[in-house]
A = this chain, B = another copy of it.
Amino acid sequence: MERQRYKIAILGGTGAQGGGLALRLAVAGHAVSIGSRDAARARTAAAELAARVGKAIAGADNRAAAAAAEIAVLTVPYAAQRATVEEVLAELEGKILIDATVPLVPPKVGVVQLPEGRSAVAAIQALAGQNVRVVSAFQNVSAQHLGDLAHPVDCDVLVCGDDRVACDTVIALAADIGLSGLYAGVLANSAAAEALTSVIITINRRYKVPGGAGIRITGIPESG
């Protein structure tokens, strides 16, 4: 399959997770823009990221970034998830929205606290409706490792979504940045990835994991 290059907006891209994804996607040849509530902050963050990798990275407010993109990635804190999607919703019609949100509820971020027993992303799909192709991914990837471009990230990416073609696109994007993405089922299955992040936080503390733990799925045949 020919590698596709996309215009990708990282909404909440001024954070560590979004910044790390932006860096690696830019290196892989995608046209990356950073979105933030504050356009000036987005431009500053974009310039810093661009300087690190010698690639053009744009900055804009979330809505403008989403409007200009073919694919949007949501990397905001859980508390800002819904408001951010509401803000950009009109710009996402027919597009893929990759939601990396984890429903961490401070201060107990190491305790699984799924919203009403469902995944956080399920609420976003319900909000966005069927014209936005929502895919859940990247919840378990350490921001620190993502930002450390000298090393590959030792973590698989669980990719969940009700749109299988959109899931395949996200799996290809993960491959572009050196990550093995695995189709992990319908969007509701994102509950596993979201819950796992609190487990990883607990393990990071208990075992003093440098840079943060990750997950691997074992047993996948090479030709998988």
Residue ranges of A at the interface with B (Cβ–Cβ < 8 Å): 110-119, 142, 154-155, 158, 160, 182-186, 188-189, 191-193, 195-196, 198-200, 202-203, 206-221, 224
> Which residue among A110, A208, A215, A221 has the maximum number of chain B CB atoms within 10 Å of its CB?
A215
Tell me, in angstroms, the Cα distance from A113 to B213 when the chains sit together.
Answer: 26
Q: Contact between B199 and A210 (Cβ–Cβ < 8 Å)?
A: no
Contact A203 B191 (CB under 8 A): no
Q: Which B residue's beta carbon lies closest to that of A200?
A: B217
Taking the nearest CB of chain B, how far is it from the CB of A159, in angstroms? 10
Contact A219 B214 (CB under 8 A): yes
Known pairs A155-B218, A209-B220 / 16 extra A-B pairs, C-beta < 8 Å? A110-B185, A111-B185, A112-B188, A112-B192, A114-B117, A182-B203, A183-B203, A185-B198, A192-B196, A192-B198, A207-B220, A207-B221, A208-B221, A210-B221, A211-B219, A212-B219
Contact of A216 among B119, B195, B216 (CB under 8 A): B216
B112 touches A189 (CB 8 A): yes
Contact of A215 among B113, B185, B216 (CB under 8 A): B216
Question: How far, in angstroms, from A182 to B206 measured CA to CA in the complex?
Answer: 9
Closest to A224 in B: B207
The reply to whether A191 and B114 form a contact with Cβ atoms under 8 Å apart is yes
Contacts of A199 on B, CB cut-off 8 Å? Answer: 158, 160, 184-185, 189, 192-193
* Of the residues B111, B115, B210, B220, contact of A203 by C-beta under 8 Å: B220
Chain B: minimal CB distance from A147 (Å): 15
Q: Which 8 residue pairs of A and B lie closest in terms of their CB atoms, listed nearest first?
A: A117-B117, A192-B195, A185-B202, A207-B224, A214-B218, A216-B216, A154-B218, A213-B219
Q: How far is the CB of A138 from chain B (nearest CB, A)?
A: 15
Q: Which residues of B contact A191 (CB under 8 A)?
A: 112, 114, 191, 195
